Copies of this chain bind each other. A is one copy, B any other.
């Protein structure tokens, strides 16, 4: 007899750890949403440690419960959500890692499941987008981030956590005219950096502008920019370091947690086909609040998916 059925569930902080206590899945077959980790941090340019993010997010995600009063939805009832474990990345070998992530994600989308990934550093979004675009066609990208990630090379190499957007545009995976980057701020390498991002055709909403116009207006601009299908990537450093200290390249002056929640809620109804939260770095998150914010933003996205019926 199943032991949990016999004895009941342990308290929420306990038990073998999957995301939000959803079932561990050995395959995406039959799932509506496949949650999985991409535990790599080789491509980080400052503080490393994002490889431990999936474990850290799972650890605090036990706080998440069944029903969301704002969305008025019970996502785990409305959707079959499973935790597929972590992609077998290859530390120090970026090409092999990119391939592993793409193949894994391809399997997920082929099975008809929505891919919801926990990075890892931001370099993992490229193979995620490759797999999702192979299935759904050219994507609109909604990127919450403090950095545009549109460099051509990083340390002289093509793949890093700061080059993936350019690669995605070059490969035709995303339609820049239907894509938008929200929360960009901080110093850059050269005068032209942000212009280069714009030259790629991407819409930028820098943090200063976002703060000035307010979250509701930001949401409106995002919604007027994107076209179906939409991929959402959320670098946790879009949030202010007070809310997200545990990240590799923090930038002061970002969104508050309340604003982050409102931004994701603002995507309600959009035809989203993939989602990731990246750059959580537990070694600098002693109070676990960064991982908690990431877990909640994933939960908001699950509610969004559940609410579209």
Contact = CB atoms under 8 A, between A and B. Distances in A.
A63 to B, nearest CB: 6
Copies per complex of this chain: 6
Interface string A219-233: 000000000000000
A166 interface: no
A213 interface: no
A169 interface: no
Contact of A49 (B16, B49, B90, B252): B49
Prevailing SS type, chain A contact patch = loop
A240 interface: yes
A119 interface: no
B13 A283 contact: no
Of A11, A85, A89, A92, the most chain B CB neighbours within 10 A belong to: A92
Interface in A9-26: 9-18, 24-26
Nearest to A84: B3
Interface stretch (A127-135, A170-178, A183-191, A268-276): A183-191
Interface in A140-199: 155-157, 159-160, 185-191, 193-194
Nearest to A40: B92
A187 B58 contact: no
Contact of A46 (B13, B156, B187, B190): B13
Contacts of A66: 187-190
Contact of A289 (B64, B83, B155, B242): B242
A79 interface: no
**Closest A-B pairs by Cβ, 10 of them:** A245-B287, A42-B92, A283-B283, A14-B86, A65-B187, A42-B42, A241-B289, A242-B242, A14-B39, A10-B86
